[in-house]
Amino acid sequence: MSLDRDRGLAFLKSQLASGNKVPSQGNIFVSLKDEDKQKAVPLIRQLVNLGYELYATRGTSTMLYNEGIKTRAVFRISRGRPNLLDLIHDKEVQWIVNTTENGAEAMVDEIQMRSKAVVPGIPITTTIAALTSTVEGLEDRLAFNSGCYKTPKASLSHGNSAKASLPSLTRDKHDFGRFEVCSLQEYHRHVKK
């Protein structure tokens, strides 16, 4: 895990450091196992509110439609076309959210999905816990970039000089979506004592 005062931003930074960069806009492919569908609804709704558009497998798409969330339905990889592999090939998807069912067919689909997503660097989120942390991080990042980000009381109460020196809270004036990732040692070198 990376460091930040907010769990969501720390999680986003850890994903960035591991090469799993979550995009701040674009299309998300969603395929959820039955036991995760209801837990994911508020998270998926938040992603739509953040401006993402959705592709989903037919079962997930139907469930989201019944919850008032618009998606574009595609087939599971092993069940027909168009499917996720077509979306990856056509550069139509920038992020994959996939919680896998058990079984041979699902495993084969998962292997194909991961092997095709790794080359173009499409991030894959595979658990509801990771999706929850990612959504929290995206919302925190949006609040930070819009100037609504809360400043930490303890470390920043003595003026703005501390804020400017913290790598985890720095904003580049030309790229408000950029976060610096640093080691624990680098972080402590920049913190005012």
Q: Any idea where the domains of the chain sit in the sequence?
A: 23-122, 147-190
What was the pLDDT predicted at 45?
98
What was the pLDDT predicted at 3?
66
What was the pLDDT predicted at 34?
96
Q: What is the DSSP letter of 77?
A: G
Cβ pair 97, 20 in contact under 8 A? no
Region of 53 on the Ramachandran plot (φ > 0 left; ψ -120 to 50 alpha; else beta)? beta
Task: Give the distance from CA 14 to its chain's centroid.
Answer: 11
Q: What is the mean pLDDT of each run of 10 residues along the chain (193 residues)?
A: 72 86 95 97 97 98 98 97 98 97 92 95 96 93 65 38 38 44 62 55
Which residues, listed in sequence order, are joined to residue 97 by a DSSP beta bridge?
Answer: 30, 125
What was the pLDDT predicted at 152?
43
What was the pLDDT predicted at 182?
60
What was the pLDDT predicted at 55?
99
Region of 80 on the Ramachandran plot (φ > 0 left; ψ -120 to 50 alpha; else beta)? left
Residue 18: how many CB atoms within 10 A of its CB? 11
pTM for this prediction: 0.75
Angle, helices 7-17/128-145, rounded to nearest 10 degrees: 100
What was the pLDDT predicted at 146?
61
How many angstroms separate the CA atoms of 78 and 45, rounded?
Answer: 27
Which CATH number is 23-122 given?
3.40.50.1380
